[in-house]
Structure 1
Amino acid sequence: MTSDEEERLERAILDLLEQRRPDASVCPSEVARAVHDGTGDGWRQLMEPTRAAARRLSDAGRVEITQGGERVDPTTTRGPIRIRRRR
């Protein structure tokens, strides 16, 4: 993944959050689908890069990663996550 692709994923996360209520969250799959420019399920290949983009934004203090509505450590969490604005 190039730095342009990484930045595109980060921008997509922030753009999707901007379109939502301040307390809303997004699913990484929404971000991957928004960035994927093909048809079919090629967006699935973007899932891990999307999670990595969310971790970078979390490290920068721009977003929080949650499970079950609770903030979690993005470096150790496994399973489905959501991304929301930092509170």
Structure 2
Amino acid sequence: MSLLERRAATASICPSDAARSAYEGDDDGWRDLMEPVRRAAWRLVEAGEVEVTQAGRPAVEGETRGPIRIRRARR
């Protein structure tokens, strides 16, 4: 959420942005955090905090394959 708060209200982030931010090493170890980041994003969707999008449209958990973006929920 802190990554989104530092961006414009309509901006989105890639899950890799969150993984890189959480990873403290200098190598590609952040990639191991991608699945936990995606799971966290879906929990935030359930809480009404964010939306997960694919190709600019809201995505549905379990139906997405490929790149996704995370943005603040539109209220």
Cα distance in 2 for partners of 1:66, 1:74 equals 10
Q: Does 1:60 align with 2:56?
A: no
Q: How does the TM-score come out when normalised to structure 2?
A: 0.95
Question: Percent identity over the alignment?
Answer: 57
Q: How does the TM-score come out when normalised to structure 1?
A: 0.82
- Provide, for residues 13-64 of structure 1, a one-character-per-residue CA deviation record: whole Å limited to 9, x for no partner: x000000000000000000000001110000000000000000000111000
Q: Does 1:29 align with 2:16?
A: yes
Letter in 1 for 2:71: R
Gap regions ≥5 residues in structure 1? 1-13
Spell out structure 1 runs of 4+ moving beyond 2 A: none
Q: Does 1:83 align with 2:74?
A: no
The Cα shift of 1:85 comes to 0.4
The Cα shift of 1:78 comes to 1.3
Letter in 1 for 2:18: V
Greater share of residues in helix? 1
Cα distance in 2 for partners of 1:46, 1:85 equals 21
Q: Does 1:45 align with 2:32?
A: yes
Cα distance in 2 for partners of 1:76, 1:61 equals 19
Gap regions ≥5 residues in structure 2? none
Q: Counterpart of 1:3?
A: none
Q: Does 1:71 align with 2:58?
A: yes
